[in-house]
Amino acid sequence: MAVLSSPPSKWKLNADGDIQPKSLTANLRIEKVTPSLILRDIFQVLPDGLWRTRLDNSNILFIEKNTAVAGDFSIFASPMFMSSTVVSVQGILDLLPGDGGIPGRIAFDSSTTELSIDPHQLYRNAVDERLHYKVAVADDRSIAYQIDDLNHQISNPDPAFELRETDQILPAGLWRTRLGGNAFKVERNTAPVGDWSSFQTPFDLSFDGIQYIFELGGQVDVGTNLLLSGASSYVWFVGTVPTPTVNNTLFRSSADTRLHFRNNSAVNKTLAYLDEVAAIANFITRETPTGTVNGVNTIFTLANTPVVGSESVYLNGVQQDPGGANDYTIAGATITFNVAPLTGEKIRVSYIKA
């Protein structure tokens, strides 16, 4: 240990680390350009147990952690630095209230989805890239963006307005309206934690430069009528409309309770249902079966197998009765007459093909 012959106030440490006399009026200071104070945790091995505070030549104070294996600060991280005007923190900032209340937390890391189950956390959510505030354990809220007072437009390029139904639990009670590009969307959260990592879009409204396009993801209940493309067409399902007066209208007529379409020429068209169309396409009328009509042959074959019981067999325009004790029997597509038709007689069969 060096022994100083004068009081400490008469000595100073120069840039080379040497002690030399100084004037009584000068302050004791370290003359090194970027002085640092190394802090070592004696219970840890290098490099994790080595920190330092460093003051650079721009008067910025750094708190640095050594990451070099040799512990020589050739590689280090700077989780915090301070200047006369700025305090910078890299990572999560925990805020401890002076009154002993619940601590808060701030984090803007790009990979953060949710900090923890603790409340009072302000963070950037990596899923929707929005600012969130966790009010309580199961109450994570997306923060609205500032509205421009000049033109009343929401400045965020993908703004969302969240609607929460207070008497329901998440996710069923969470909806939002969002502007995505050129589309206005109504969305429903389906993620169990209510963080919008999964959602449905039952309504989407966009404009393609010519017309508005509605995309509906479910049932549409119409109380009176649904107007399409200005005043030129309707979808109309009220039960008191026998015939609308507007062209290009799809409607349910109260006269026959069927679905109709009034086209652009004011012609009312009744729409056929799928089962009716299928029945019409499968109905065969007045088919002549194959087989020789010579007064001897009794077996004749149809082009298709009919639905059982749907056939009508005619001989010279007179309908024949089925059955072994009557006029004919049928098995599949084969008709067998009990009495062979005579030469020149006409056989015709109508049926629904199976």
- For position 286, what pLDDT does the model report? 94
The parent domain of residue 321 ranges over 280-352
Q: 293 and 242 in one domain?
A: no
> What number of CA atoms fall less than 13 Å from residue 5's CA on the CB side?
2
Q: 130 and 70 in one domain?
A: no
Q: 123 and 175 in one domain?
A: no
Task: Report yes or no: 135 and 142 within 8 Å, Cβ to Cβ.
Answer: no
- Residue 225 pLDDT exceeds 70: no
Does residue 150 lie within any of the structural domains? no
What is the pTM for the complete model shown? 0.31
Please give the single-letter amino acid code of residue 199. F
Q: 336 and 287 in one domain?
A: yes
- Helix or strand (DSSP H, E) at 274: helix 274-282
Distance from the first to the final alpha carbon of the chain: 113
Helix, strand, coil share of the chain (percent; to 5): 5, 40, 55
Q: Which residue has the higher pLDDT, 141 or 306?
A: 306
Q: 117 and 100 in one domain?
A: yes
For a pLDDT cut of 90, what percent of the chain falls above it? 18
Residue that is last in its domain, among 89, 104, 119: 89
Q: How confident is the model at residue 78 (pLDDT cuts 50, 70, 90)?
A: confident
Q: 194 and 250 in one domain?
A: no
Distances (CA, A) of 213 to 177, 204, 235: 17, 8, 15
Q: 339 and 294 in one domain?
A: yes
Q: 100 and 79 in one domain?
A: no
Tally of domains within the chain: 5
Does residue 11 lie within any of the structural domains? no
* Residues 171-189: tens digit of each pLDDT: 677 888 888 777 888 888 8
* Residues 192-206: tens digit of each pLDDT: 877 788 888 888 888
Does residue 24 lie within any of the structural domains? no
Q: 348 and 284 in one domain?
A: yes
Strand 160-164, strand 225-228: pairing:
unpaired
Among 130, 124, 137, 132, CA closest to 170: 137
Does residue 250 lie within any of the structural domains? yes
